[in-house]
Amino acid sequence: MLKLENITKRFGPVVANHRVSLEVARGEVLALLGENGAGKTTLVSILYGLYAPDEGRILLEGKEVRIPSPKAAQRLGIALVPQHPELIEAHTVAENLALGLDLPLAFSRRALVRRLAALLEGHPLGVDLEAPVARLSAGEKQRVELLRALLNRPRVLVLDEPTSVLTPKEVEGLFQEIRRLKALGLAVIFISHKLEEVLAIADRIAVLRAGEKVGEVWCQEADKDLLVRLMVGRSLAPPPKVPPPRKEVVLEVEDLLVPRHGFPVQGVSFALRAGEVLGIAGVAGSGQAELVQALAGLRPHQGRVRFLGKPWPRDPMSLFRQGVAHIPEERSMGVVGGMSVAENLALRTYPRFVRRGLLDYRAMEMEAGGLIQRYGIRTPSPRTPVRFLSGGNVQKVILARELQGGARLLLAMHPTYGLDVGATEEVHGRILELVQGGAAVLLVSEDLDEILALSHRVAALYHGRFVGPVPREEADRERLGRMMTEGRV
C-alpha cells in the first residue's frame, strides 16, 4: 500500500532520519516505536507533507508520489490524527468536521449535519455533532479528530501517539476502532513509545533509534525485553523497590477545597509521611493541576494544610525555603528558555550569589557545574541557553534546581511526561533517591504504570472529588481506572 524507501532528512548538522525504509499493507497495523527524538515525528511530518525528504522516495500503491503539502497528503488518501487534538474549541463538532470538507459558500447547519452523517455512514459517531468542542473530554476530542481524518476516505491512517491523553478504558475503545478500520482495509501507522500498547495493537513493529530503523519484528515474535533493547540500545535495570515510609508526618491536608472553573477540587484529606509516595491519578482536567497549584502556593484554597506540624506558608518562595520542591505541570513553566543552564539552576537560589549588590556569575556557574555533573545534565556548557537542551535534560535541570536544597516534600506533576525510556529511568531514580532520604512525594501523573510503580498509596481525582487514598497493594490498573472514571474506591 504505502512504502517509504531510504528516507533521509537532515536539519543542519542533525540527521533526523537516516535511510529509513518502511512498508505498510492494506489491512495492517504498523507500529512505529521509538524514544522521543528518535525521528518518529519527522518521519510522520514527511509523510504528511510538512517536510520534504532530502533523499529517498515514497510509493503509494507502487507509484512514486510527491507530497508537497498536507492538502496533497489528504488528496492521496493519507490522513493524520495529531498527538494533541487541533480543534477550534468554541465551535461545534459538526463545524470542526466541516473544516475537512469542500463546502459551498453558504450552507445550512442542517444540510451540513446531513452531509456529515452520510459521509460517516458505517462509522459509529460516539459524539454529539452539535456539542461545542470545548465541552468534550480529551478522549472525545480525539474521536472528533479521528472522524475528521476518516471524512476523506483515506487509504492510510497515521495516528501520532494517540493514547497519551486517554484513560485506560478510552484506549481500549480506540483499539477496537483501529481493529474495525483495519478490517475495512485501511493501512494504519500507529506511533508510540509505550510498549504494552504497541504489543496489543500492532501486526508489525518497526523500531527507530537516533533517526535510523534499528529493527522490524512481527508482533508475535516480539516481547518487551526485545523491544526495549532495540529502542534504548541496552536492557533496563528493574525499577528499584520503594522502602516503606517512616513514622514522621510531613504533610497533613484536611478538607482542602480549591475553587476553579467547573467543579471545585474538594474533599482532599490525607497525611503524607516521610519517605512516602502518594500517587494521584485522574483524567486530564479533573483538578490535578489545581490541587498541585494550590499546594504550591499558586492558587487560593480553603481548608487546613500543615507542613511538618506548622501552618502552610502560602507563597512559592517561602515554600521553597522551607523545603518544598515543585516540578510544574508544563516543563516550559519551570525554566526560562533564553537564560543559561546556570541561571536556570539558580532560579530559586540567586539571592545566594549576590555580592555587593551584583550577581556573582562565576560562583553561580561553579555551583551549576557541580549540579550538572551530579544530575548528569547533558549540556555543552553551563552558559548554554536551556532551550537548546532536550526535554529530558530540561527536566533534569528542573529536578536539580528543586532538589538541591534538600527538599522535605516534592510536588511532582507529570515528572516524566514526554521523556524517553532512558530519561524516565533517571528521573524515577532521582525521585526514589529522595524518598530513601526521607522526603515525601506527591506524585501526579497520567501514566498509571508510573503511579503504580512508585507509590505507597494511590488516590484519584474524579470531577474534582478526591477519591481514596488506598494502599498500593490493594490497587491495580483496573481499580485505579474505576476510581478515575467512576469516582468509586
Partner 1 sequence: MRWELDPSPSLWKVFLAYSLFVALALLLLGLLFLLYGVSPLKAYGLLLSPLGDSLGLAEVGRRTIPLLLIGAGLALAFRVGFFNIGAEGQLLMGAVGGAYVALFLPPGPWTLPLMFLLGGGLGAVWSGLAAWLRVRFGANEILTTLMQNYLVYYLVVYLVAGPWKGQMVFGFLYTDRFPPEAQLPRLGDTLVHWPTLLLGIAAALGLQLLLFRTPLGFEWRILGENPQAARYLGLKGGRLILLAALLSGFLAGLAGVGEVAGIHLRLLEPAQISLGYGFTAILVAWLARGRPLWVLFTAPLLGLILAGGDALKLALSMPFRVVDVVAGLLLLSLIGAEALSQRRLIWRR
Whole-number Å distance between alpha carbons of 270 and 127: 37
Sign of CA dihedral 287, 289, 294, 298: negative
Interface with partner 1 by CB under 8 A: which range of 76-84, 231-239, 294-302, 446-454? 294-302
Residue 227 C-alpha cell reads as: 523491544
User: Can you tell me which residue has the cell 500498547?
Assistant: 197
| Interacting residue with partner 1 among 86, 128, 315, 476 (CB under 8 A) | 315
Q: Which residue, 215 or 313, has its beta carbon nearer to partner 1?
A: 313
Question: Does residue 185 bind partner 1 (CB under 8 A)?
Answer: no
Min dist. Cβ of residue 281 to partner 1 (A): 23
The helix-helix angle for 168-183 and 477-486 (nearest 10°) equals 100
Residue 200 C-alpha cell reads as: 496489543
| Interacting residue with partner 1 among 72, 214, 228, 298 (CB under 8 A) | 298
The kind and range of the H/E element at 83 are none
Min dist. Cβ of residue 196 to partner 1 (A): 33
> What are the angstrom distances between the C-alpha of 298 and each of 71, 311, 317?
43, 16, 11
Question: Does residue 6 bind partner 1 (CB under 8 A)?
Answer: no
User: Can you tell me which residue has the cell 477496537?
Assistant: 176
Q: Which residue, 311 or 357, has its beta carbon nearer to partner 1?
A: 357
Q: Which residue, 75 or 109, has its beta carbon nearer to partner 1?
A: 75
- The DSSP secondary structure of 303-316, one letter per residue, reads EEEEETTEEPP-SH
Subset of residues 58 to 97 that bind partner 1, contact rule: CB under 8 A:
66, 68
Alpha helices (H) along 27-137: 40-47, 70-76, 93-98, 109-119
- The DSSP secondary structure of 315-337, one letter per residue, reads SHHHHHHTTEEEE-SSHHHHS-T
Q: Which residue, 245 or 334, has its beta carbon nearer to partner 1?
A: 334
Q: Which residue, 320 or 375, has its beta carbon nearer to partner 1?
A: 320
Subset of residues 350 to 379 that bind partner 1, contact rule: CB under 8 A:
350-351, 354, 357-359, 361
Q: Which residue, 10 or 19, has its beta carbon nearer to partner 1?
A: 10
Question: Does residue 317 bind partner 1 (CB under 8 A)?
Answer: yes
Among 11, 33, 3, 1, which Cα is nearest to 159's? 33
Min dist. Cβ of residue 389 to partner 1 (A): 13
Number of H helices, E strands in the chain: 17, 22
The kind and range of the H/E element at 481 are helix 477-486
The kind and range of the H/E element at 140 are helix 138-151
Residue 464 C-alpha cell reads as: 474534582
**x/- string (CB under 8 A) for partner 1, residues 202-241?**
----------------------------------------
Interface with partner 1 by CB under 8 A: which range of 21-29, 141-149, 157-165, 295-303? 295-303
Q: Where on the phi/psi map is residue 126: left (φ > 0), alpha (ψ -120 to 50), or beta?
A: left
Question: Does residue 384 bind partner 1 (CB under 8 A)?
Answer: no
Question: Does residue 316 bind partner 1 (CB under 8 A)?
Answer: yes
The pairing of beta strand 204-209 with beta strand 29-34: parallel
User: Can you tell me which residue has the cell 506558608?
Assistant: 313
In sequence order, the β-bridge partners of residue 315 are: none
Report the side by side order of strands in the sheet with 63-65.
Answer: 14-24, 2-11, 55-60, 63-65
Q: Which residue, 104 or 351, has its beta carbon nearer to partner 1?
A: 351
Residues near partner 1 (CB under 8 A), total = 36
Question: Does residue 380 bind partner 1 (CB under 8 A)?
Answer: no
Min dist. Cβ of residue 379 to partner 1 (A): 16
Q: Which residue, 9 or 204, has its beta carbon nearer to partner 1?
A: 9
Amino acid at 58: I
Interface with partner 1 by CB under 8 A: which range of 197-205, 327-335, 411-419, 475-483? 327-335
| Interacting residue with partner 1 among 77, 139, 328, 468 (CB under 8 A) | 328
**x/- string (CB under 8 A) for partner 1, residues 458-487?**
------------------------------
Min dist. Cβ of residue 283 to partner 1 (A): 23
CA 388 vs. chain centroid, Å, equals 20
Contact call for residues 352 and 385 (beta carbons, < 8 A): no
Q: Which residue, 30 or 346, has its beta carbon nearer to partner 1?
A: 346
User: Can you tell me which residue has the cell 501507522?
Assistant: 189
Q: Which residue, 225 or 315, has its beta carbon nearer to partner 1?
A: 315
Min dist. Cβ of residue 322 to partner 1 (A): 12
Chain contacts with partner 1 (rule: CB under 8 A): 11-13, 51-52, 66, 68, 296-298, 315-317, 319-320, 326, 328, 330, 332-339, 343, 347-348, 350-351, 354, 357-359, 361
